[in-house]
Amino acid sequence: MNFTKLIDAFGIPGTYIGSEELSTGNNNQTYRLHFYDNGDMFYIMQRLNTHVFKQPRALMDNIRRVTEHIGQKLKQVGCADAHRMVLHFLLNKDGEPFVEDESGFWRAYRYVDRAYTYDIIQDSFCFYQAGRAFGEFQRHLVDFPADTLTETIPHFHDTVDRMRILHEAIENNKAGRADSVRKEIDFILAREKEAGIIVEALDSGRIPWRVTHNDTKINNVLFDSQSRAPLCVIDLDTVMPGSSLYDYGDAIRSGTNTAGEDEENISLIHFDLELFEKFTRGFLETTADSLTREETLLFPTAARIMTLELCARFLADYLDGDLYFKIKKPGHNLIRTRNQIELLRQMEAATPAMEAIIADICRQG
């Protein structure tokens, strides 16, 4: 990949040394660029998947405004490490946070050094920290007017709509796979009624719209290599108006599964209640003054609904012939579907335990 024109367009200073592709994320193409400018400097250069993100300019506008808002909050409290606690996007010569050319839609940001991410949780303390990081993100944005952000992927977590899309995929049966996955289809459709709970609560005004991250996979938190404290939340493509329950629920879905969502061996999948407790504690500690009681009561439901949503999305993509999620092997989306079904099964069995844990944390708080 030749980055010369992009480097110039973003005005990156220093001598370009080289690049490596990073294989993170299911959507975008990501490179780390190495420069020398009185020392080593690294930047992330990313080509947006415009099949998934159909409004890239609006998406970058959302990200820019949200990161600037957080940056200002950090400044106000005199945070010394502010440049590592929120992503800094580079601007092109016209002051826009992207460059669009014949090779695609690109953005660049300063690479946060001395930091790492987890694909699978290593210990419960780090998941507690992740809960604090996602909670902090919400807290910083509590005064940001959610309705000024563009809904760049309409109906992203509208789980009722996700079910409709699954029905459509079953009917169209594009890849001819529907008959082989009847068991999985039945499992998901049997839970169709529960799928609407968060959407209905938002629509009826029982819970508020907020600015949410909407992709709170555990590998979207950066940790400091030395202190192991969380630095910032990354992958801001889906920052949009949403429910705090989407962020909470998706983090629980992705972080409490001790085997990760790509594990094929069902017997290794384990919904870990200790991890559940730790994340919930961290999230509540940082959001307690802004979350409503109604939202907190819906935490276990949110964990199940977000898992159900991913069951439906992975299966619909499998039925369509794997058009949306990057796959690394044949049947990968079916593997992910079965994995999430098993996780959901275990969450259902553990729901009374989840409720008791939340009640306990709230009593102590």
Point out which residues bind Mg ion (CB under 5 A): 215, 235
Our finding on whether 52 is near ligand GN1 (CB under 6 A) is yes
Our finding on whether 61 is near ligand GN1 (CB under 6 A) is no
Q: Which stretch binds ligand GN1 (CB under 6 A): 25-33, 87-95, 109-117, 171-179?
A: 25-33
Our finding on whether 67 is near ligand GN1 (CB under 6 A) is no
- Of the residues 14, 16, 19, 26, which one makes contact with ligand GN1 according to CB under 6 A: 26
Q: How far apart are CA 31 and CA 181, in angstroms?
A: 36
* C-beta neighbour count of 322 within 10 angstroms: 18
Residue 184: contacted member of ligand GN1, Mg ion, none (CB under 5 to 8 Å, by partner type): none
Q: Which long-range contacts (CB under 8 A, 24 or more apart) does 143-150 make?
A: 144/65, 144/66, 144/69, 144/211, 146/209, 146/210, 146/211, 146/241, 147/209, 147/241, 148/65, 149/62, 149/65, 149/66, 149/211, 149/239, 149/240, 149/241, 150/55, 150/58, 150/59, 150/61, 150/62, 150/240
Our finding on whether 160 is near ligand GN1 (CB under 6 A) is no
- Please, what is the minimum distance in Å from the beta carbon of residue 63 to ligand GN1? 13
Smaller CB distance to Mg ion: residue 184 or 235? 235
Q: How far apart are CA 119 and CA 22, in angstroms?
A: 14
- Please, what is the minimum distance in Å from the beta carbon of residue 51 to ligand GN1? 11
Q: Mapping DSSP to helix (H, G, I), strand (E, B) and coil, where does residue 2 land? A: coil
Smaller CB distance to Mg ion: residue 235 or 317? 235
Our finding on whether 235 is near ligand GN1 (CB under 6 A) is yes
Side-chain half-sphere of 331: how many Cα atoms within 13 Å? 7
Our finding on whether 340 is near ligand GN1 (CB under 6 A) is no
Smaller CB distance to ligand GN1: residue 92 or 307? 307
Our finding on whether 247 is near ligand GN1 (CB under 6 A) is no
**How do strand 240-242 and strand 210-212 relate by DSSP bridges?**
antiparallel
In the window 257-276, what residues touch ligand GN1 (CB under 6 A)? 261
Pick left, alpha or beta for residue 170 (phi over 0 → left; psi -120 to 50 → alpha; otherwise beta): alpha
Smaller CB distance to ligand GN1: residue 87 or 310? 310
Our finding on whether 215 is near ligand GN1 (CB under 6 A) is yes
Our finding on whether 256 is near ligand GN1 (CB under 6 A) is no
- Please, what is the minimum distance in Å from the beta carbon of residue 79 to ligand GN1? 26
Residue 52: contacted member of Mg ion, ligand GN1, none (CB under 5 to 8 Å, by partner type): ligand GN1
Our finding on whether 25 is near ligand GN1 (CB under 6 A) is yes
CA 56, 61, 64, 67 dihedral sign is negative
Q: How far apart are CA 45 and CA 30, in angstroms?
A: 6
In the numeric block, the tokens 């990313």 are attached to 46
Q: Which DSSP string corresponds to 108-134?
A: EEE---SEE--SS---HHHHHHHHHHH
- Please, what is the minimum distance in Å from the beta carbon of residue 350 to ligand GN1? 21
Residues in touch with ligand GN1 (CB under 6 A): 25-27, 52, 215, 217, 235, 237-238, 261, 310
